[in-house]
Amino acid sequence: MASPTPTAAGVDEPDELRDLRSTLHRMLAATAPESVVREHLDSPEGFDRSAWTRLATEIGVQGLAVAEEYGGAGCGMRELAVAGEELGHSLFPGPFLSTVLLSATLIARSRDDAAMRALLPRIADGSLVCTLALPQHGAGWGADATTVTAVADAGTWTLTGRIDSVLDGQVADVILVPARHDGVISVFRVDANSPAVEVRPVLAMDQTRRFAHVGLTSSPAVRIGAPGSARQLLADAGSVGSVGLAADQLGGARRMLEVTTAYARTRYQFGRPIGSFQAVKHALANMLISTELARAALDDAVRAVDANAPNLDTAVGVANIVCSEAYYDVAATAIQLHGGLGFTWEHSAHLYFKRATADRVLLGTPAHHARHLAEALGL
């Protein structure tokens, strides 16, 4: 689904970011065209493992959030956002959000040497899929949502509980689970292939992402990080994940703007391109405005994450709201301006619209973030 060259993205970026963007864009055009994405819509895993591996071995996408000592590139939010935007532009269905943005960030922030050495090199080389297990109900990404309990017996931890709609749960090798014990909440890692772990795939609106209900019954686990550190770890991972998700949304909106603009130039009605009609011009202009506003909000959030700025929570919340709404509005308008063609299975617009709709409830809905911002401002 990637177009041959990037458009307005990356105009003012440093050379190294522009190189990353163009290289990734070209690879996705070759390895993840629309035909490949569609091929995996109904497959059990939902993505092309060979393409996922190539992203790791040839570009190092999975290692962007991993320190060099663990086989990664040690990059910041700027590089992760560029990758997220291009992956969203192509509607790439791999576990970038769950494994790279959320899990790798949490593991790195835990400062747990054993966990970092066991997991980060395998994330960086693309051989490990890891996810965070919290219910997706639109109310944010906080440790307090967990209902899983942890019990220690002779130094061995076991977890019991159920988590609904875990992102990439059915393809994960390792699941990171916040669990309650001794009056605190800690993060534990669980082998997804353990007999004591039940993973049941669930149907989702967005066919390019996979979700699963995860059941734990005295499942063996290993604690990650200090006892009671789950709230801070999930807050850190949630900030990076939310900005990465906003980048994905911007990339998808960009793609829908490109496709719809091209269609308006070539679709003739009453002897002239439909793009020459004022109503269509206004709709396209609104799509562009939404996309550019999303880019501005994303850029501010990227800077806030990299600088750990005092306005971090505010910037991330604004980016989530603006980018979520922009993607949804742009994708919906794309369907309308394509007329009957936009409603067909064969056209890509519905796939982007479904992701835009589903993304609105990942890591907190726009309404949730708006309430959080209002509370922070004392409104």
Residue 234 falls in which region: left (phi positive, over 0), alpha (psi -120 to 50) or beta: alpha
Average pLDDT over residues 344-356: 95
Region 338-363: mean pLDDT is 93
Say if residues 138 and 364 touch (Cβ distance below 8 Å).
yes
Specify the pairing of strand 130-132 against strand 174-181: parallel
pLDDT digit string, tens, across residues 211-265: 999 999 999 999 999 999 999 999 999 999 999 999 999 999 999 999 999 999 9
Domains of the chain (ranges plus CATH)?
Answer: 15-128 (1.10.540.10), 131-228 (2.40.110.10), 232-376 (1.20.140.10)
Would you state the structure tokens that stand for residue 370, as one six-digit string?
């708006």
Mean pLDDT of the region 291-316: 96
Contact between 182 and 112 (Cβ < 8 Å): no
C-alpha neighbours within 13 Å on the C-beta side of residue 339: 7
Rounded CA separation 236/269 (Å): 51
Beta strands in the chain (DSSP E): 130-132, 149-153, 156-167, 174-181, 184-191, 197-202, 211-224, 268-269, 272-273
295 confidence band (pLDDT: 50, 70, 90): very high
pLDDT for residue 8 is more than 70: no
Q: Are 57 and 314 in contact (CB under 8 A)?
A: no
Residue 1 has pLDDT above 50, yes or no: no
> In a 3-state reduction of DSSP, which class is residue 313?
helix
Bridge partners, 186 (sequence order): 179
Chain length of the chain: 379
pLDDT attached to residue 7 = 43
Q: CA-CA distance, 305 to 312, in Å (whole number)?
A: 6
For the CA atoms of 374, 375, 376, 377, the dihedral, rounded to the nearest 10 degrees, stands at 50
Q: What is the mean pLDDT of residues 3-17?
A: 64
Output the CA torsion sign for 281, 283, 286, 291: negative
For residue range 75-123, list pLDDT tens digits in order. Answer: 999 999 999 999 999 999 999 999 999 999 999 999 999 999 999 999 9
Contacts of 18 (CB under 8 A, 6+ apart): 10
Token pair 């353990």 is at which residue?
Answer: 194
User: What does DSSP say about strands 211-224 and 197-202: parallel, antiparallel, or unpaired?
Assistant: antiparallel
Confidence of residue 372 (pLDDT cuts 50, 70, 90): confident
Tokens 């490949």 map to which residue? 36
